[in-house]
Amino acid sequence: MRNRGHRSRGLVAAAVAALVGIAGVTGCDAVGGNSSGPTGSDAQSRKPSPKPTPDWDRSPRSLAAVGDSITRGFDACSVLTDCPEVSWATGTDTKVKSLAVRLLGRTGASQRSWNYAVTGSRMADLPGQMAQAAAKKPQLVTVMAGANDACRSSVSAMTSVADFRTQFEDALSTLRSALPKTQVYVSSVPDLKRLWSQGRTNPMGKQIWKLGICPSMLGDADSMTSAATTRRDRVQDRVESYNTVLEEVCAKDRRCRFDGGAVFEYRFGTAQLSHWDWFHPSVNGQARLAEMAYGVVTSRTPSR
């Protein structure tokens, strides 16, 4: 028994000595000591993974805008006329301080921002505008479209929700096929019913509405009959459905940010409406749109 004990202690001592010897070679590297650390393939395997590239850059260096009359500054400067210099997205007017100016400065905005929005366009026109925008290789594309899909000659002529979804998906696919990493800011469709309720108090505005501005909502502006009220409610319901589509489709793209309904929920007053048609944004209204967009684009987290 005694001899066996001596042999056991001897084996244990040898094992300890061997471990100490190994520790003397590798121990400092394992705990970071004074050694320069492992080299070769071992070093490669132990290198920390690089930080992932953030999905959203809050300081894009170029911008293209697509959409409709709002992004063209329609009726903001004179009656029934585009005024792109006051566009919330790409304008250079100091009173608006557009998204492009806020991100790029005035010089940068004039050199590295492009406006492909077209007055009167609908969601079906967006893929073509996206193709134009993609040719400039912008780091950010702004989207404000959908109002004209609801603003039709009649309720039955409004773009269906299913078609609206397909068209918006096609527009994003057009951009993604050319520019997989370009960011997209998507504005909600404004609250058309609120714009009607604000503008209907102005006689001049109502005369201009008769020229064909959003008949489905603005037609017979003073009528409060059951039929007129139902018509406006149906237009409003369609706008809300469009906004749901914009949010859902955008959410599937990690480089797309929806405004969380900010534009729809904004309470445009008479100061924010064109004094020619009392429906489109005024210069002041364009400035508010720019402010909202800038908040979403530069936020550390997406809107909810």
Is there a contact between 114 and 124 (Cβ–Cβ < 8 Å)? Answer: no
**Mean pLDDT throughout 125-132?**
98
Q: Could you give the CA distance from residue 204 to residue 3 in angstroms, rounded to a whole number?
A: 115
pLDDT top residue among 264 and 8: 264
Is there a contact between 113 and 62 (Cβ–Cβ < 8 Å)? Answer: yes
According to the model, what pLDDT value does residue 303 have? 73
Per-residue pLDDT tens over the stretch 76-117: 999 999 999 999 999 999 999 999 999 999 999 999 999 999
Helix, strand, coil shares, percent, the chain, to 5: 50, 5, 40
Size (the chain), residues: 304
Q: Which of 38-52, 138-152, 181-195, 280-294 has the weakest average pLDDT?
A: 38-52
- Domains in the chain and their CATH numbers? 66-297 (3.40.50.1110)
According to the model, what pLDDT value does residue 145 have? 98
Cα of 165 vs its chain's centroid, Å? 16
pTM to 2 decimals? 0.82
Nearest CA among 222, 107, 91, 231 for reference residue 157: 231
- Confidence tier at 14 by pLDDT (50, 70, 90): very low
Average pLDDT, the chain: 87
- Confidence tier at 55 by pLDDT (50, 70, 90): confident
Q: How many CB atoms lie within 10 A of CB 252?
A: 9
- Confidence tier at 20 by pLDDT (50, 70, 90): very low
Euclidean distance between the first and the last CA atom of the chain, given in angstroms as a whole number: 77
The torsion of the CA quartet 100, 102, 104, 108, rounded to 10 degrees, works out to 70
Residues linked to residue 183 through DSSP beta bridges, in sequence order? 140
Say what percent of the chain tops pLDDT 90.
Answer: 79
